Structure 1
Amino acid sequence: MFGPLGFSLAPYIQSSKTLTSWVKPLANWYANAAGYRQYGFKYDDLLVEENEPVQKALSRLTPREHYDRAFRLKRASQASILHKPLEKNEWTPAAEDVRYLKPHVLEVMKEDAERHKWDTVVVEKK
């Protein structure tokens, strides 16, 4: 529930059409107001990399995903140095802002939970 991805009410909201119709415009407004798309970032580029599950998930990216992430980080650094966002045509569109790292992080967290479960098994002699 908690961890590098944080707490999320998304599954509950997505299960209700009424809640989705109310919250989706607010979520889109907030994502645009956050400003990370203006620098070419995707949402998962903002995850804290110092967490062990995120580090493991980053190592599981394909070479293309790894290159694209590095390119986005360097391009945003350059824009930050210039003290202005990217040109409007270089912004990340909402349709391209997909969670590319989330499945890997969830997989790592599941593996860690399973490893912990097996490491703490108590074997009793009958």
Structure 2
Amino acid sequence: MSAPSLAPFILARPWLTKLVKPLASWYSSAAGYRQLGLRADDLISEENETVLAAIKRLPERESYDRVYRIRRAVQLSVQHKILPKTEWTKPEEDSPYLIPLIHQIEAEIAEKANLDTLTITKKH
């Protein structure tokens, strides 16, 4: 299961969004993954069955691009280099592509669990 998120709470309050958004932008830039050409969803650990199922559901092109980004980042990390600034991932390109699939799979798992524990009672 994915971790709980404060995003809906923050986004529902405009004053809090104005306060947190610059901090979130700074943190994303400071994390350094964009300098390696990665997107935020590339950082999700593949040690979870739900994540593995979501990766299998990715379109072929998106899956190829993900593997390419990760391999390139590993190579850059080994060489202690970063990409030229023109090749960094731009904030507008850093959109979630794996999280929606993970949420969909978690909903399916929850629905299956509910159906598996369903009890049928007869009316007399």
CA RMSD across the alignment: 1.1
Q: TM-score, normalised by structure 2?
A: 0.94
Counterpart residue identity of residue 82, structure 1: Q
The corresponding residue for 2:118 is 121
Mapped to 1, the partners of 2:120 and 2:12 lie a distance apart of: 42
2:82 to 85, 99, 103: 85
Report how far residue 86 of structure 1 moved.
1.4
Question: 2 CA distance for matches of 1:123 and 1:17?
Answer: 46
- Partner residue, 1:10: 7
CA drift at 1:78: 1.0
Structure 2's unaligned 5+ residue stretches are none
SS of residue matched to 1:58: helix
Q: Structure 1: where are the runs of 5+ without partners?
A: none
- After TM superposition, the score normalised by the length of structure 1 is 0.93
Identical-residue share of aligned pairs (%): 50
Aligned residue for 1:65?
62
Q: How far apart are the structure 2 equivalents of 1:52 and 1:14?
A: 30
Tell me whether 1:38 sits opposite 2:42 in the alignment.
no
One-letter code aligned to 2:57:
R
1:42-61 equivalent positions in 2, closer than 5 A: 42-61=39-58
Q: Distance in 1 between matches of 2:79 and 2:86?
A: 17
Shift of 1:81: 1.2
